[in-house]
Amino acid sequence: MSTNEETIRYKRSQFATRLPRDNFYTQSHFWIAPQGQAQWKVGFTKFAVRMLGEIVEQGFEVEPKAEISLGQTVGWVEGFKALTDLYSVISGRFEYGNPLIVDDPEKIYRDPYGDGWLYLASGDPDSGKLNVLGYVEFLDQTIDRIRGETES
């Protein structure tokens, strides 16, 4: 693991990424970036999109400005490898989905920490969120578990 001011470079086994230092992360592999005024931009981590594969389609099941609760399904993403629900990592209000991924859902895969973010929400983030170093530790455990399962 190496660092610069904005990101931490992470590499373990066959996986490598740069994790934005100022983001928070969840154990369900979402990142949460503060946007001011209790607003949060939410996206998948690179680890999550690697598990999904190239993104084929996505959609939201909640309307803009709808109240949301922690763990609520707010949408879905279909990749070549898997279909997954999008869960709320914020308790509050779903502001809107990222308009950049409507016509180009592959942005989620190509640029997960940039233009491929998923949605904007207002409220309180998951109290179990991790800082970048906590997420690095969690990734180590996750990758070690996966490697152990595939080596058995």
Give residue-wise pLDDT tens across range 40-67.
999 999 999 998 988 999 999 999 999 9
Calpha distance 2→107 (Å, rounded): 26
The domain segmentation of the chain, as residue ranges, is 2-151
- Note the pLDDT of residue 126: 92
Task: Tell me which amino acid residue 107 is.
Answer: K
pTM for the whole thing?
A: 0.90
What is the per-residue pLDDT across 16-47, written as a single tens digit (0 to 9) for each? 999 999 999 999 999 999 998 899 999 999 99
Calpha distance 121→108 (Å, rounded): 17
- Note the pLDDT of residue 148: 83
Fold entry, domain 2-151: OB fold (Dihydrolipoamide Acetyltransferase, E2P) (2.40.50)
